[in-house]
Amino acid sequence: MKIENEELKEIIDLWDLKKEVKRKIYKLLDKNPSLSPTFLFRYYVPEGKKNKVSELEKNFSKKFNVKYALAVNSGTSALISALIACGIGPGDEVIIPGYTFFASCSAVLVAKAIPVIAEIDESLTIDPIDIEKKITKYTKCIMPVHMRGLPSNMDKIMEIAKKYNLKLIEDCAQADGGSYKGKRLGTFGDAGCFSFDYFKIINTGEGGMFVTNDEKVYIRAQSWHDTAACWRPDRYARERMPGELFYGENYRMNQISAAIALSQLEKLDRYLNKLRKNKKRLIEYIGEVKEVKYAPVNDQEGDCATSLVFLTEKGEQAKKFIEQLKKEKVPAGGIYDKDIRDWHIYKYWEHIIEKKTPTKEGCPFTCTYYKGKIPDYSEDMCPKTLDILSRTVIVNISEAWDEKDIKEIAEKIKKYIN
């Protein structure tokens, strides 16, 4: 059965995409009045038609200056593929920050490894000092997360990974296009993982990308993301290298998601430059602050600039500040509120605190291959993280602001900031 052009257009109209993005998709559809399901599939694109997924991988690889890019159906899929590809599994520990969406933690558990939760510092990213405190002889990997587009301290993290011979997988779900000292986030370690879901900088509804410079890691990620191994030159051939073929999942990206991502990738740097310009102007208009402070940023130039972060001395001050800003219609909010459950904060990860598993066996917490001591998971295991998040005030930045908007928002912030 063929999928008619108009049916696809109705689906696309439901997506919150910019008009120029939709026009490009419609142009793709108009060239193919009646698209077969084969055309929408990751592989087996009809002769003479462009494979949008392959094109996206090629363009992403070029823009991020990496050898290999693999398009997947979500950021979580990218993380799981990266962990499996890097050989993380039963008996291993992976250090992650206490401030990230639970998917980061879940990916570690899916790989049958043990998550170790570390503190963040005032940059809202993982604290390198606490990383080193959390390392044991079972630690296999560090997973920094560049939350809210803010780059982690990659110099320190790389130094630690090298010192202890650890794998490094970057979670760039909220930092598509960000950088650290001129180098794209996601390209420092063994693998980088990106998300293209509704709330991300590149938005295809659902989708993600895995990148690496290691051919073996890339091939293993391909195997995991496509258990049928359709990516191979000869799909049914015997294994070409040890560790190439094994059972896996189905994390493939489809052609429509790739077409949307291609359009947004093309405009990524222009979009980020606009955000950075608006954030810089907002700070200039606000000027010096006293009772609160600007949160430190590990690399101002590489910040995706999706938000401006303030830190107060006490949590109650942050609450009052946020209330006043909201009254003034400033797009502001907090992160940690004791009365609000948020799965971006480890305190509410009851899945792991209570060691909840899908089956009664309790794997990986009961895995016989793991010889270490299960971390003492609790709601107060990372007090520094909770303190910092309770004192945080976020002002969301928009690329659509003009000079007048920025000045007005700055005046409203200045009205209450001191």
302 pLDDT band, cuts 50/70/90, is very high
191 versus 338: the higher-pLDDT residue is 191
What does the pLDDT average to over 228-247?
Answer: 91
Per DSSP, which regions of 12-67 are E strands? 34-35
Fold of 3-266: Aspartate Aminotransferase; domain 2 (3.40.640)
Nearest to 38 by CA among 51, 23, 22, 55: 51
Each domain of the chain, given as residue ranges in start order, spans 3-266
31 pLDDT band, cuts 50/70/90, is low
- In this structure, the strands spanning 139-142 and 167-171 are parallel
Q: Is the pLDDT of residue 5 over 60?
A: no
Per DSSP, which regions of 74-207 are E strands? 93-97, 114-118, 139-142, 167-171, 179-180, 183-184, 191-195
The residues, any chain, with a CB within 8 Å of residue 87's CB and separated by 6 or more, are 140, 167
The residues, any chain, with a CB within 8 Å of residue 26's CB and separated by 6 or more, are 9, 12
What does the pLDDT average to over 364-390?
Answer: 97
The answer, yes or no, to whether the previous bond of 331 is cis (omega within 30 of 0) is: no
Q: Is the pLDDT of residue 36 over 50?
A: no
Name the H helices within 252-334: 255-286, 315-327
Classify residue 329 by its DSSP letter: T
Q: Is the pLDDT of residue 387 over 50?
A: yes
Give me the count of residues in the chain: 418
- How far apart, in whole angstroms, are the C-alpha atoms of residue 149 and residue 348? 22
- In this structure, the strands spanning 114-118 and 179-180 are unpaired
What does the pLDDT average to over 399-414?
Answer: 96
**Mean pLDDT of the chain, nearest integer:** 92
The pLDDT of residue 47: 80
Active site residues: 200
The pLDDT of residue 27: 66
